[in-house]
Amino acid sequence: MSTTQLPVVLLDPHPRPLDLIFDRPTKERLSALGEVIWHDGPPAPAEHIDRHLPRTTILIGQTALPTERLNLAPQLRAVFNVESNFLPNIDYGECHRRGIHVLSTAPVFAQPVAEMALGLALAAARRMPEADAAIRAGRESLYGERDNYDSILLHGRPLALVGCGNVGRALVPLLRPFGGEIFVHDPWIHPAVLREMGLTPASLEECFARGAVVFLLAATTTENAGRIGRDHFARMRPGGIVVLVSRAGIVNFDDLLDAAAAGRIRVAIDVWPEEPIPPDHRARRTPNTILQAHRAGNIPEIWPRMGQMVVDDIEQILRGLPPMRCQRAQLETVMRLRSKPVG
């Protein structure tokens, strides 16, 4: 681990602007760790990357790393994806063999998405946006006389999570004080692990049949794309709530809107099958919905945290320790992910 030459950190952070994710103190911490080859703006040109890779210890960016490029990088010990979706542009197997950590700053989005997911659930459970619009339109009903008919408490009610990765783990503590049983469907997590976390492992069907609110938190994978549809929504009790925050690819979106339009369920949506949302998208006119334009995760205060967690983990790695702040690409699952990068 010891080396007399300074570690070299190569930056290629596009689409993240450098100053967005690295505030001044974090830049200074980074500079203190080694020789930093700064880069900002568009993707670094291939020749820039290829020229510096032979000396690079740490690469910060979502740069393509096929086998040939890894062959150019004998010093490379870690790659930090700051866009935060693992893409199929890296030879993950070869990185693993070489002991190169491939890491993502995705965990930074967990808390903002979890907070919005809870906010959407509460807003849907009480029809807050409709009631707000009613006052502005001068047609409100006092004391909820007309609009509280299907308002529900979350307290004591069973809740369900489809997917229990970063967002799920941030959401669970926020849901605990409501006191209801928490059902989880996540085919990548052993039921014994969920039980140890105080959660109830469940099939996808059970999640919809039991959850007063079903939070859809799964990444799109080769296995789950489009899998949730009409039959699932039909299992929900009337007045049930679906909160879709990550990713739209796992649901049949038309079935979801049909169920909301029919008034069977209430739906909150932050992620969309096509982004930007087409101007004439039917969701814009669908009742019993709360709509957000993929804005749950991307809030200002988390940007500098991306740089901080990257530098925290570089510190770990340069001290000969495993990274602990960013998410590691797992050899078994990374190639099954199908989430599209954010534009």
The residue behind tokens 């990765």 is 165
* Residue with smaller CB distance to a copy of itself, 72 or 193: 193
Under rule CB under 8 A, residue 291 binds a copy of itself: yes
104: which strand partners? 81, 327
Shortest gap between Cβ of 25 and a copy of itself (angstroms)? 13
The answer to whether the peptide bond before residue 158 is cis (omega within 30 degrees of 0) is no
Query: How many contiguous H segments (helices) and E segments (strands) does the chain have?
Result: 13, 13
Under rule CB under 8 A, residue 126 binds a copy of itself: yes
Under rule CB under 8 A, residue 283 binds a copy of itself: yes
Residues 186-225 that bind a copy of itself (CB under 8 A): 188-190, 192-193, 198
Amino acid at 123: A
CA distances from 285 to 4, 157, 219 (A): 64, 30, 27
Residues 146-175 that bind a copy of itself (CB under 8 A): 147-149, 151-155, 173-174
> Which one of residues 27, 55, 96, 235 is an interface residue with a copy of itself (CB under 8 A)?
96
* Residue with smaller CB distance to a copy of itself, 69 or 305: 305
Shortest gap between Cβ of 35 and a copy of itself (angstroms)? 22
Does residue 270 contact residue 294 with C-beta atoms inside 8 Å?
A: yes
> How many whole angstroms separate alpha carbon 185 and alpha carbon 71?
40
Axis crossing angle, helix 128-136 with helix 110-125, rounded to the nearest 10: 60
Under rule CB under 8 A, residue 275 binds a copy of itself: yes
Under rule CB under 8 A, residue 274 binds a copy of itself: no
* Residue with smaller CB distance to a copy of itself, 61 or 180: 180
What residues have CB less than 8 Å from 96, skipping those under 6 apart?
331
> How many whole angstroms separate alpha carbon 160 and alpha carbon 180?
10
* Residue with smaller CB distance to a copy of itself, 48 or 98: 98
Label the pairing between strands 101-104 and 327-328.
antiparallel
> Which one of residues 75, 85, 252, 330 is an interface residue with a copy of itself (CB under 8 A)?
330
Under rule CB under 8 A, residue 76 binds a copy of itself: no
The residue count for binding a copy of itself (CB under 8 A) is 85
Segment lying near a copy of itself (by CB under 8 A), choices 60-68, 228-236, 257-265, 281-289: 281-289
Segment lying near a copy of itself (by CB under 8 A), choices 29-37, 48-56, 145-153, 204-212: 145-153
Under rule CB under 8 A, residue 129 binds a copy of itself: yes
> Which one of residues 119, 201, 226, 273 is an interface residue with a copy of itself (CB under 8 A)?
119
> How many whole angstroms separate alpha carbon 90 and alpha carbon 72?
14
Under rule CB under 8 A, residue 238 binds a copy of itself: no
* Residue with smaller CB distance to a copy of itself, 37 or 62: 62
Amino acid at 155: H
> Which one of residues 3, 24, 47, 301 is an interface residue with a copy of itself (CB under 8 A)?
301
Within 10 Å of residue 133's Cβ, how many Cβ atoms? 12
Shortest gap between Cβ of 47 and a copy of itself (angstroms)? 31
The residue behind tokens 């990550």 is 246
Under rule CB under 8 A, residue 292 binds a copy of itself: yes
Shortest gap between Cβ of 97 and a copy of itself (angstroms)? 5
Shortest gap between Cβ of 50 and a copy of itself (angstroms)? 25
| Token couple for 134 | 């009613």
What residues have CB less than 8 Å from 105, skipping those under 6 apart?
21, 80, 81, 82, 84, 306, 309, 310, 326, 327
99: Cα separation from own chain's centroid: 26
215: which strand partners? 161, 243
CA distances from 281 to 250, 268, 278 (A): 19, 15, 5
> Which one of residues 25, 66, 88, 179 is an interface residue with a copy of itself (CB under 8 A)?
179
